Structure 1
Amino acid sequence: MSARTYQVVTYGCQMNVHDSERLSGLLEDAGYVKADQDGSPDVVVFNTCAVRENADNRLYGNLGRLAPVKARQAGMQIAVGGCLAQKDRDTIVRKAPWVDVVFGTHNIGHLPALLERARVESEAQVEILESLETFPSTLPTRRESAYAAWVAISVGCNNTCTFCIVPALRGKEKDRRPGDILAEVEALVAEGVIEVTLLGQNVNAYGSDIGDREAFSKLLRASGRIDGLERVRFTSPHPRDFTDDVIAAMAETPTVMHQLHMPLQSGSDTVLRAMRRSYRQDRYLGIIEKVRAAMPDAAISTDIIVGFPGETEEDFEQTLHVVREARFAQAFTFQYSKRPGTPAAEMDGQIPKEVVQARYERLVALQEEISWEENKKQVGRTLEVLVAEGEGRKDDRTDRLSGRAPDNRLVHFTRPTEPVRPGDMVSVEISYAAPHHLLAEGPALAVRRTRAGDAWEKRQAAPAAKPAGVMLGLPGIGAPAPLPAAPAGGCGCD
């Protein structure tokens, strides 16, 4: 018999994307084979998000479309995991009784066994644990990129933001030992990876679980000393925990990129208080000022929520003020989404949809203008671009390649005359700027073949299926290729 095939569909934040790599690794370790994009998989796994309402709608819509497919395909199984599964539990099987397995955020390692149990017993298996059983990084992994990788340094979150349900679903923060993290990074580098993104729900709170307030800055410096690692990024930090030693580590460690994604959520002190965000406008702008003093070339991005309950026009104007002062390279903007189970869902002063929409459009217009102005400052600069896979959707038609600059700006550039692979480095001169990308229309100034390019080439030589798509809201900030570009969006929970 041929091996059973699988597909993993991911919704939500970077943590979910990384968890999906673990799910793929678990399935392949159990003998499954990744389905070709044109085929019909034997197992479809939805790794879900619970932060925004359209994630629910997207899931149930896709489950509905799969029902007749499953009815026609003998032996097909459907599994639902992640944050929405942790929250809704039996609701998923009630709404979609054709689902075979429901599992939560704390027991992704059980997926192969749950699938087999559902097959043998011919009934749905629902298993939700209330606390983390095994740190996900100990599980098998199928990395989607040969040259860039996520490395989780912690799971869970100790914050109590009133709009966010993630801490209730992911649990309290648990930190990995620094030695385990560095060992994983070293192993990745040995495989050809040259860029890592350190990942946590509240990444710069790292150390709170092990009793060391400077643990995160120490981890940045230690990662930067790993031979062969060229780029270190991290996402997403919380302004409350952003300390001067982290800024110093970023500025003084050559391989830590001068790129920072730091969620603002609102510029109004009144709204921040209602959100239970433990900083105020002055504190946030003070961090920006310190980062820019230490790294004038830093590209800073953020998350912003528009229309939080009780937000007045004056409150919204304060958000616009911070956007003008901070001059973000990019902002992932969200209209407030009421989520059952969060304190904000029960607050008075829910804002009418038309008011939220109007404010959202004003914010987007302002940020587009600033992003374009900031990108224009890059024209004439020479940048070394890490060639990516899947970043430029028009590359084939325009005879260009695409990749990321050190500050994570997306760069499209003329294809060099010599062969270039994803993972290689190409130096180009920027000739044009748009709000969301840079363009280098002249010939490449230099091409540097890398171990990462070798690793990509080796992977291509072996039979392999194409990467799974990300269905909703993956920010481009620090996102290792080859995950496809997605609309502005993120979990908004940092």
Structure 2
Amino acid sequence: MARTYEVRTYGCQMNVHDSERLTGLLEDAGYVAAADGSTPDVVVFNTCAVRENADNKLYGNLGHLAPVKAKTPGMQIAVGGCLAQKDRGEITRKAPWVDVVFGTHNIGSLPALLERARVQEEAQVEILESLEVFPSTLPTRRESAYAAWVSVSVGCNNTCTFCIVPALRGKEMDRRPGDILAEVRALVAEGVSEVTLLGQNVNAYGVEFGDRQAFSKLLRACGEVEGLERVRFTSPHPAEFTDDVIAAMAETANVMPQLHMPLQSGSDRVLRAMRRSYRRERYLGIIDRVRAAMPDAAITTDIIVGFPGETEEDFLQTMEVVAAARFSGAFTFQYSIRPGTPAATMPDQVPADVVGHRYERLVELVNDIAWDENKRLVGRTVELMVAEGEGRKDAATHRLSGRGPDNRLVHFDPVVSTRSTTAGPTTAGPTTAGPTTDGSADTAPIRPGDMVTVEITRAAPHHLVADGGVLAVRRTRSGDAWQARTAAPAAPVVGLGMPKVGAPA
């Protein structure tokens, strides 16, 4: 019988995408996904090292698995990702029941390492210092039938004092534009309607081959891919955010009016200590220009509270920038020491109780602003891409969920409104009415990947609600792809066969 597997993912979108590759590699090697509630033959942890609790979470989970493995002959445990790259042999010292440790640069080695560990009956630790083959050459089993991640680069050339990622992911390496677009076209051919371009500093794309406008050119080129409805990207760096990118966003129909741009701090003094090569004035200037070009753009950010030496005045300057920027949401973090980073040994570490109090004040302000911004959308009509995995709003209402062009999450009533209309045909496929109130079979159900038009009826800080029913449904190729995958969940993995990394000729 085929051996079963489970991949557990922690951290950023890059890790989520890497886990899709790990899944693809395992299925390509003959493994099958473990059924819910069963004990897998192989458990793979794809780890993050950005925050302190990542270590605690990993070793806690490994501890829970130790007695399970002791009772399960042949079970294997593998640890990969950023924490594996950082801790290396430390993992097998702390958790000697781990069979395989692999790093960020050699995820393609996982099946071979598992087999070697099984045959030799000893742990295998393989950590490469640099990338040999761009990960997109590896087989991939995507989590979604309708949306996909596409890496444009790996690594980072910045030296932020709080961040350990450059030490773990290496220097930035860019893919050839033709390879990226070939992957995008292949994904669209499979039914994907939305792609998110990924990079540690995605808008620095092109630095390796000396084209400062490479990223804006890539956005415009994505606009020419027939059948691609939505393009997003994450995460750009403010220091490299140029006006040609804003123009490309505004002028390319399928590039969505959404921007996630980390702020980290609103204090110039703290930004300098962080080695963030921009200041608050530049950051707010970018936001002003984005909103001038795209008035409805939703802007989100990352903010760190309690960086070493942060004073109350510094913190209040961050609050000022948040109030001025009017973010539609923010990922807020309490600073935690990461060994190996310059900030870890800086003087004036802020006491935990002070950090916690500031964090609560920041979260309250962020939520208040996000709620106000969401309230402005009540009464507007928006087209949503129906989502899978973001869940029903609650069992009582049976709402479904979807994302608007600005990436806001909307929970909607799937019943067709009496005001519903039929949209004209599009390249994405024919339109159809949604389900009736009595669930009769003469109308097709709304599927993840389909597009629905709704009117926003209520706002909350982190989502919107549309309880007036669906005004229009557009059945798409992505919905067809989701339906086909659901009917045949064991469909073979697709390897994209991208060439290896390197500057274009």
TM category (shorter chain) comes to over 0.9
Q: Is this contact kept in 2: 1:149–1:193, CA < 8 A?
A: yes
Distance 1:421 1:396, change over 3 A: farther
Give the equivalent residue in structure 2 for 1:194. 193
Give the equivalent residue in structure 1 for 2:327. 328
Give the equivalent residue in structure 2 for 1:99. 98
Which residues in structure 2 correspond to 1:229-308 (within 5 Å)? 229-308=228-307
Q: Is this contact kept in 2: 1:395–1:401, CA < 8 A?
A: no
> What CA deviation, in whole Å up to 9, does each residue of 1:31-84 have, x standing for no partner?
000111211100000000010011110000000000000000000000000000
Give the equivalent residue in structure 1 for 2:494. none
The reply to whether residue 357 of structure 1 matches residue 356 of structure 2 is yes
> What CA deviation, in whole Å up to 9, does each residue of 1:130-175 have, x standing for no partner?
0001100010000000000000000000000000000000000000
Question: Partners in 2 of 1:264 and 1:451 — Cα distance?
Answer: 37
Give the equivalent residue in structure 2 for 1:454. 480
Question: Partners in 1 of 2:187 and 2:466 — Cα distance?
Answer: 31
Deviation at 1:395, TM superposition (A): 4.4
Question: Partners in 1 of 2:208 and 2:191 — Cα distance?
Answer: 31
Give the equivalent residue in structure 1 for 2:19. 20
Q: Is this contact kept in 1: 2:50–2:164, CA < 8 A?
A: yes
Identify unmatched segments of 5+ residues in structure 1. 466-494
Aligned mate of 1:427, from 443, 453, 462? 453
The reply to whether residue 57 of structure 1 matches residue 50 of structure 2 is no
Q: Is this contact kept in 1: 2:393–2:411, CA < 8 A?
A: no
Question: Partners in 2 of 1:242 and 1:380 — Cα distance?
Answer: 33
State the SS of the aligned residue for 1:134: coil
Question: Partners in 2 of 1:22 and 1:393 — Cα distance?
Answer: 28
> What CA deviation, in whole Å up to 9, does each residue of 1:263-298 have, x standing for no partner?
000000000000000000000000000001100000
State the SS of the aligned residue for 1:398: coil
Deviation at 1:443, TM superposition (A): 1.6
Q: Is this contact kept in 2: 1:395–1:402, CA < 8 A?
A: no
Deviation at 1:394, TM superposition (A): 3.3
Deviation at 1:393, TM superposition (A): 4.4
Give the equivalent residue in structure 1 for 2:87. 88
Deviation at 1:464, TM superposition (A): 4.4
Give the equivalent residue in structure 2 for 1:39. 38
Give the equivalent residue in structure 1 for 2:170. 171
> What CA deviation, in whole Å up to 9, does each residue of 1:102-124 have, x standing for no partner?
00000000000000000000000
- In structure 1, what residue type is equivalent to 2:341? T
Question: Partners in 2 of 1:260 and 1:98 — Cα distance?
Answer: 43
- In structure 1, what residue type is equivalent to 2:269? T
TM-score when scaled to structure 2?
0.91
Deviation at 1:392, TM superposition (A): 2.6
Give the equivalent residue in structure 2 for 1:389. 388
Taking CA–CA contacts closer than 8 Å with sequence separation of 6 or more, which of the two structures ends up with the larger relative contact order? Answer: 1
| Poorly superposed stretches of 4+, deviation over 6 Å | none
Question: Partners in 1 of 2:111 and 2:405 — Cα distance?
Answer: 39
- In structure 2, what residue type is equivalent to 1:397? A
Question: Partners in 2 of 1:463 and 1:444 — Cα distance?
Answer: 29
Q: Is this contact kept in 1: 2:231–2:254, CA < 8 A?
A: yes
Aligned mate of 2:463, from 409, 412, 437? 437
State the SS of the aligned residue for 1:213: coil
Question: Partners in 2 of 1:201 and 1:131 — Cα distance?
Answer: 16
State the SS of the aligned residue for 1:248: helix
- In structure 2, what residue type is equivalent to 1:186? R
Question: Partners in 2 of 1:151 and 1:73 — Cα distance?
Answer: 37
Question: Partners in 2 of 1:350 and 1:273 — Cα distance?
Answer: 16
Give the equivalent residue in structure 2 for 1:73. 72
Question: Partners in 1 of 2:228 and 2:487 — Cα distance?
Answer: 24
The reply to whether residue 318 of structure 1 matches residue 317 of structure 2 is yes
Question: Partners in 1 of 2:230 and 2:13 — Cα distance?
Answer: 18
State the SS of the aligned residue for 1:445: strand
Question: Partners in 2 of 1:261 and 1:445 — Cα distance?
Answer: 30
**Percent identity of equivalent pairs:** 80
TM-score when scaled to structure 1?
0.93
Q: Is this contact kept in 1: 2:378–2:456, CA < 8 A?
A: yes
The count of corresponding residues between Structure 1 and Structure 2 is 464
Deviation at 1:409, TM superposition (A): 0.2
Question: Partners in 1 of 2:208 and 2:415 — Cα distance?
Answer: 48
- In structure 2, what residue type is equivalent to 1:302? T
Q: Is this contact kept in 1: 2:393–2:401, CA < 8 A?
A: no
State the SS of the aligned residue for 2:367: helix
Q: Is this contact kept in 1: 2:103–2:127, CA < 8 A?
A: yes
